Structure formats: C-alpha cells, structure tokens
Amino acid sequence: MRERMKNMQKKTLEAVVAGLTCLDFTPVFITPEVEEIGQILIPSKTVFMGNADIHAGGCVSNTGLAMCKFGVNARLMGKVGDDDLGKIVLQQYSNYTTTENMIISQKEGTAYSVVLAPAGIDRIFLHYPGGNDTFGPEDIDYELVEKARLFHFGYPPAMYRMYKEDGRELIEIFKRVKALNVVTSLDTCGIDERAEVGQADWQKILKNVMPYLDIFVPSAEELCYMLDKDRFKEWKQRAGGKDMASVLNTSDVKPLADTLLSFGAKIILIKCGSAGLYFATNTQEVLDGIGEDFLPIVNGWGSISHFARSFKPRKVLSATGAGDTCIAAFLTAILKGYPWEKCVDFAAASGASCVETYDALGGLLSFEELERKIEAGWERN
C-alpha cells in the first residue's frame, strides 16, 4: 500500500505525448469535388488554388495540443531543427504548453508535410521526415514520463529508428515506459508500400510491442496493411481509387481487431474514416493489467465490441488532423473517467468537428459543447 501511494504521488502530469513532429502546409483547393486526384493533377496543367494553411502537424502537434485544448496537463516530446520551420512549430506549441521538453537539433531540419486535400478524396501527403528519422529511446525523458498517468506515442511508420530492426527501439521505449507504471498508448500512420518501411514486418512489430501496450488507436487502412496485405489489396480494389474507408463495414474491421486481441491488446479504437469508429476490448482479466491508476476507469469494460457511426459535420474543409484529434478526445475522456460509450462518442464527435476547419485545432469543441450537440440529436452518418 505504501509503495502504491508513493507511485500515485509521483503522478503530477496527466499525459506525455511523444513521436513525430512536423509543420503542415495545406494549400486550399478551390476545384469542384472529384473522385480521383488524377482529375486535378494533370501534367502541364496549372491548378489555381486558394490560400494556404500553415500549422504544426504530426502526432505530437495534433494529438498533444488537442489534449491540452481539452484541458489535459500534458507535455510534448519531439524533435525539430534549428531553422525557421522549427521556430514556427515551437511558437505554436507555446500557445498551449511548455516547449522545454522538445529537442532542437543542429543536424537535421524540421520535418514538413505538404497536405493535398481536394474535396471528394482522402488526403495525400508529401513528407520530409527531418529529425523524426533520428528520434530514438534516448530522446525520451523517462523521469518526466514517470510522473505522468499516460504516455502516448505516434507515427512509428514515419520514423526510421522506430521500425528498423523489427521495431527494436520502439519496443524498448514502450518496455521502459511500462516498467514505470504508466499507461501506454500508440498510434500509427500511413505506410508507403514501395519504401523501406513498407517491407518491414509490421505484424511482428505489433506482436512484440503488444505486451507493453495498453491502448492502440490505428486507422483501419494502416492496420490492414500491417496485419493482412491480401485483405488490404482487396479493400483497395473494392474502393477503386476512392477513399478506402468509404467501402468498409464492421465485418471488414472485426477480424483485424480480433487478431490484435489475440496478441494481447487491451483497448483498441480503430478509425474508419467517415464511416465511424470500431471499439474493442480484451477480457476483464487482461484489462486489469492496465495499471492501478486506470483500474477503476476500465472496470466493466471487458470483452466489448462496438461500432460507432460518425457524426455528420456541417461542412468538410479538410480531414487533416481529424484522426489525431479524435484520439485526443478518446484519451482525454478516459483520463477524466468517462464511461466507454462517452469516450467513443466524444472521439467521433471531435473528428467531425475537426474537419470543419483546415487546421487540426480550430474546429474543436469542449466536451460540454459536444455533449449538448449529441443530446440534441446530432445526426450520424
């Protein structure tokens, strides 16, 4: 009991969010809605655009800052370059929280993404990894992490050291954090099939990190590529160039969640784009291993399988950051002790709110505002 009280007294932070940091450039398309990018990007054609939105992006920016905006006491851990892009990122971070745990590299530049988000199709990212490729276990401040209730890490498929050697260093990070009695969470990102990351054995990586992972929040497409490439090809053919999530249903996603549960996953939230969210949990006995601080919250969450349809936004300007802010709401709701049904609904509602603006944070609402909209009969897809 004395040791447990000692551990609880250390928890002066609610969350640490670590992983990929970048600057997002989102040029605003003013073209009519399309079904394929080839209808817009044609050789020798000039495409007239609207203004450009420039915001910090990546998991650390979108999920971390959204959690801060939701009222979570969170610290951010990522790497930027000592350049103008890095200064923009840190300035935007300072509006929400301290930047003292960010690394400023003298060797690598700040990562950036050019986000192509024309109406009608999913986003396309042109990405420079910068310092994210050299981010490793030594860049985590474990003394600070030990003071947090939750450690969330994002985008290992876009961080070279996190997927090389079958994810050895990613596993090392989660193993060290879990040993500190901190609840752990992991998010993924899109994988370039033709690049080195596309050849990594992601099923092996996930299976090996799962013993140290409590909450896993991938997208359906990312997860399918990692676990079942043949199924992924079938989904791709079925979509016919359209947004893959638009052709998915529960029977597509459930087998992937079941595989994760067989690996020992505790809590899973699979993002299915405009269709919604698939929530699944392991048995209560497995959930009880999540950590003492979270035991009262997840009591009764065992063996759940639930698909939550997404909420209809008033307008769709850009899906940039929608998945990240959806996760931020989900994790925040868990930290605040909400029932799982509300955790999932707040996640879906935040994703819908996010797409109404070009940046990840501008459209976010408080949980009180989201609850009022849901109770007033917010229409679902």
List pLDDT tens digits, range 93-129.
999 999 999 999 999 999 998 988 887 777 788 889 9
3-state secondary structure of 311: strand
In this structure, are residues 89 and 62 in contact, taking their beta carbons and an 8 Å threshold? Answer: no
> Which is more confident, 368 or 5?
368
| Across 218-243, average pLDDT | 90
Residue 8, pLDDT > 60, answer: no
Q: Is the dihedral of CA 351, 354, 358, 359 positive or negative?
A: negative
List pLDDT tens digits, range 25-83.
988 888 888 878 888 888 888 888 888 889 999 999 999 999 999 999 999 999 999 99
Residue 343, pLDDT > 60, answer: yes
Q: DSSP per residue over 91-111, as a string? A: HHHHTTS--TTSEEESSSPPP
CA distances from 89 to 71, 104, 126, 136 (A): 20, 11, 18, 20
Residue 321, pLDDT > 50, answer: yes
In this structure, are residues 93 and 9 in contact, taking their beta carbons and an 8 Å threshold? Answer: no
Q: What single letter denotes the amino acid at residue 323?
A: G
List pLDDT tens digits, range 122-173.
778 888 999 999 999 999 999 999 999 999 999 999 999 999 999 999 999 9
**Burial letters 28-66, b for 16+ CB under 10 A, else e:** ebeeeeeeeeeebeeeeeeeeeeeebbbbbbbbbbbbbb
Q: Tokens 């600070």, residue?
A: 144
Q: Tokens 């936004």, residue?
A: 313
Reference 344, options 152, 163, 183, 215; nearest CA is 215
| Across 346-361, average pLDDT | 90
Q: Which CATH superfamily is domain 2-37+49-375 in?
A: Ribokinase (3.40.1190.20)
In this structure, are residues 280 and 256 in contact, taking their beta carbons and an 8 Å threshold? Answer: no
Residue 357, pLDDT > 70, answer: yes
Position 121 scores a pLDDT of 75
Position 358 scores a pLDDT of 75
pLDDT, mean over the chain:
92
Residue 242, pLDDT > 80, answer: no
Q: DSSP per residue over 339-379, as a string? A: -HHHHHHHHHHHHHHHTTSSSSSTT---HHHHHHHHHTT--
Q: How confident is the model at residue 4 (pLDDT cuts 50, 70, 90)?
A: very low
φ and ψ of 27, to 5 deg: -70, 135
Reference 247, options 235, 263, 256; nearest CA is 235
| Across 200-227, average pLDDT | 96
Find residue 270's DSSP bridge partners: 278
Q: What single letter denotes the amino acid at residue 95?
A: N
List pLDDT tens digits, range 11-23.
888 999 999 999 9
